[in-house]
Amino acid sequence: MLDAWQRIFSTVTLTHSTLTDEGEPDNSALLAVATLDTNIAELGLGPAAVDALDRINVIKVSELLHVWGRRLARMRGVGNKTRKHILAAVKVLRERLGATTSTDHTSTDTADEVEAYESQIPKDQLSIDVMVQRILRAKAKSRNATETTAMEALMGLDQRVDSVWPSQGDIAPLVGVTRGRVSQILADAQKRWLKDPAMTALRDQIAVLLEANGGVMSSQELCDTLLSVRGSVEDDPRRGRLARVVTRAAVETENTLEVPKFILRRVGSNALIATDISLADYAAALGQQADEIATKDPLLPPNRAIEILRAVPLPPESDELNDSRLVRLATAASQNAAISSKQEIYPRNMTAQRAIRLSHGGLVGVRTLTPEQIRQRVSSRYPQAATLPGRPALDHLLADAGLQLAWGTNDQGKEAYVSTSRNPLSITDASSTLQRYSTQQRTSGNATPLPQFQPAYISTDIAEARRFEERLRYAEKNGSFLAMTVKPNLYDQARQELTTRFSTRSFDMERVFLDALRHAADEVGADWSVVEKADSSDDRSEDWRNLNQLIASKAIPKIEAALEKDNVNGQTVLTYHLNWLARYDQVVMLSRVAQAVQDNRIYGVWLLIPASEQTPMPLLDGAAVPVITPNQWANIPESWCQNLHRTKQATSNNISSSAT
């Protein structure tokens, strides 16, 4: 099989790279769009560089950024020109993507080598992992075991300590020393941190983050933000603990200054970090109100909760927070409040029974649901509620909530909850059912219309669906690149709506990809069985890399050409079944598609992406879709899929509003 691939790829050349005036590959365009998951072979470094990096087991950009600079400089059998080209690419990638150094290297590299490597990276781009190494690294001789244990416990690395921000009094009995000794150990560390330029850069960055968030954040918010900005190669929960180390060290260092840029205030089990004590007091007051709001049953509507939070006096000369930040800060500063996907404030660890009852609307109208689907629907709305139990306890909770679901078999012959309602309201008939009901109420001589169908009332769900409809109409009229996420169970319904009610051209990306790959294999003389075997091989194997090279060099250009073909002014291309882009590290193709829309080579492109939960940006199997602005992506509301904005209720309200 290896011989077959080698024969095939002796005729394949990558067409993306050009040459500079010095005759070296000009790969600046490829480096500009590369991600951490991009294959080295796609960077345009040339065969010699790709081969050299392959010998040290570097396959992806993320792995290249993990390698110490000293190791790259010492690669054997590599010419100076190739080595310089690799190092130049590394510099560009680090400037764009930041440092992703792994702590794993500390076991095989000397302290001098580690420091030499860190010196090559901008101090404000060092990862969380590297910062932890610097924070805990002894400057002279190693600390004794007691000092090491005390410092790690104080910084939050000791799993025996459950506190978000352990005090010196918490640590002293744990490690068997006096509180004064813990204070001395911390003071020695503070002196060292104060001299570290990387710590100075971190403290400056924290000050900027605080200002961007109204001058105050909870310690957990700051940890999460630093993780997203700096990155970590560790998995949860360790990455969270490492972020605490970095945050704690920065605050402790700043605390040694006469005029600190930010301060700490403890509030119960929480810790608040603010640029001014008055802002910390304000956040604490918001947290108290959030705790009070969370006790209400039924839950307060979001607008009422915001009114209560707005009543908390702002510190003098402070800017008013927007609604979203106000609610997030209040719940973050609270002891027991959480925020739902609908912006409701509810109690953390809310009972499963109550969570199901409050999620009732998301569980009706579906013919079958698996226990996992029910858990996902409830947890997506109330992520900090208690976990739903399994069967048979779940059966009783569903019945108590008034849901007509019984354990049985779905249409695929698999066990699931099945609706026992005589006329279950399915997604496809939601609009017609509501229309019929509204018509009955309007035409019945003795019937009194229910309040929710009066023209003066528009529900939140209808308003949300209507806003999304208007956004789509604008995008349809003007031509745009728009990534849309939708719950997996609504995927087909959303596609149907977008296909039948809008001027779109359906583009099954998976089918087009397979056709393009077959043609690419034919062009290079590859038997399809060879391609299939490569597809099932390990993703670090030579076969897998060759397959990806074939896809990148031959199949992808065909797909892009197909997207631009038959371009009709006023007709948007609706693309779906996109997940293979992530599997083969080709999500970057979407950047070029977006550019084609901007250049009017394609009128408009909509991406339909399944997403089981809301994320800060659209993802394809964990790979970020390259959107530049918030205008380039949206979440499709469930109410829009149900056509609630097109019911008699919605249209009559619209007419009424227009008349006034």
Residue 365 scores a pLDDT above 80: no
Residue 71 scores a pLDDT above 70: no
List the one residue out of 509, 508, 487, 482 whose CA is nearest residue 640.
487
- Amino acid identity of 315? P
- Locate tokens 């080209």: which residue? 85
Output the average pLDDT for the chain: 80
Answer yes or no: are the C-beta atoms of 609 and 394 closer than 8 Å. no
Dihedral of the alpha carbons of 428, 432, 435, 441, in degrees to the nearest 10 = -110
| pTM for the full predicted model | 0.52
pLDDT confidence of residue 293: 96
- Locate tokens 């099989």: which residue? 1
Q: How confident is the model at residue 615 (pLDDT cuts 50, 70, 90)?
A: low
Give Cα separations from 260 to 204, 206, 286, 435 (angstroms).
11, 12, 24, 62
User: How far is 466 from 483, CA to CA, in rounded Å?
Assistant: 18
pLDDT confidence of residue 14: 40
Q: How confident is the model at residue 19 (pLDDT cuts 50, 70, 90)?
A: very low
pLDDT confidence of residue 623: 75
* pLDDT (tens digit per residue) in 383-440: 999 999 999 999 999 998 888 889 998 877 889 999 886 444 333 333 332 333 333 3
Give Cα separations from 630 to 37, 108, 174, 478, 484 (angstroms).
23, 44, 48, 17, 11
User: How far is 80 from 64, CA to CA, in rounded Å?
Assistant: 18
Region 57-85: mean pLDDT is 70
| 422: helix, strand or coil | coil
* pLDDT (tens digit per residue) in 303-326: 899 999 999 999 998 899 999 899
Q: How confident is the model at residue 139 (pLDDT cuts 50, 70, 90)?
A: very low
Rg of the Cα atoms in the chain: 29
pLDDT confidence of residue 607: 96
User: How far is 589 from 555, CA to CA, in rounded Å?
Assistant: 11
Q: Is 246 exposed, middle or buried (0-12, 13-18, 19+ CB in 10 A)?
A: buried
**366: Cβ–Cβ under 8 A, 6 or more apart, which residues?**
419, 424, 426, 427, 489
User: How far is 618 from 334, CA to CA, in rounded Å?
Assistant: 30
User: How far is 449 from 440, CA to CA, in rounded Å?
Assistant: 9
Q: How many CA atoms lie within 13 A of 293 on its CB side?
A: 29
Region 511-525: mean pLDDT is 92
Q: How confident is the model at residue 608 (pLDDT cuts 50, 70, 90)?
A: very high
